[in-house]
Amino acid sequence: MKDIQIQNKEWLTPKQLEAEFGITIGAQNKMRLRKNYENEQSIPFAKVGKRILYLRSDINEWLLSLRQGVK
């Protein structure tokens, strides 16, 4: 697949998400599948054609929702 640079800083490609948050592309793939197969909260994403994109604010909220042991 062609690597297209996203100019909008609000949207991240899988490679950008990996670089910024350390979530590997393989792990992203597994987390997206949770939406269909598991009750766990899947990683929020948008699919445009074959391209997967992540909204930065959705990722931040999703990560906050995963925190454990916070009072």
**Nearest-10 crossing angle of helices 14-21, 25-37:** 110
Overall average pLDDT of the 52-70 stretch: 91
* DSSP 8-state assignment for residue 22: -
pTM: 0.78
pLDDT of res. 70: 67
Percent of the chain with pLDDT over 70: 79
Question: CA dist 18 to 28, 32, 36, 38, 70, Å?
Answer: 9, 14, 22, 23, 25
